[in-house]
Amino acid sequence: MHKTLFNLILTARREGAVASQVVDKGLTLLAYPLADGVLVGIGYDGNSGHVVDAELLLRRRGQQMARYGSWLPSMFVDGSYFLLSRLNARDPAQNAREAATLDLAAARELLA
């Protein structure tokens, strides 16, 4: 999944727009370009049919901040629920190194 995320980061930066891809049973990765980095996310589109228990997610995140703290929960107006993390590098190679350190497994656990 890290390679897919890196490709999305490159696409988002090149196009100057959000890039996303469904990777597994409605689970979606996204990259949103910023002037000084990129916002990456993992979650479910509002139309995916997947329901995230926000209260449980926040409780679990709060109990294990060392593991889950880098992921910020976000719910969008269309019902999409994503965990977001900011990569601060402007350089694509540095973005790749930062993306490789993201604990995508932890994010998936939180969304389960």
85: nearest Cα among 13, 9, 3, 17? 9
Q: What string of pLDDT tens digits covers the 112 residues of the chain?
A: 888 998 999 999 899 999 999 998 889 999 999 988 899 999 998 887 778 888 999 999 999 999 999 899 999 898 899 999 998 866 766 766 777 778 888 999 899 8
CATH number at residue 68: 3.30.1460.10
The pTM assigned to this predicted structure is: 0.87
What length does the chain have?
112
CA-to-CA dists, residue 95 to 6, 22, 112, angstroms: 8, 21, 27
Domain span at residue 68 reads 2-111
Number of domains in the chain: 1
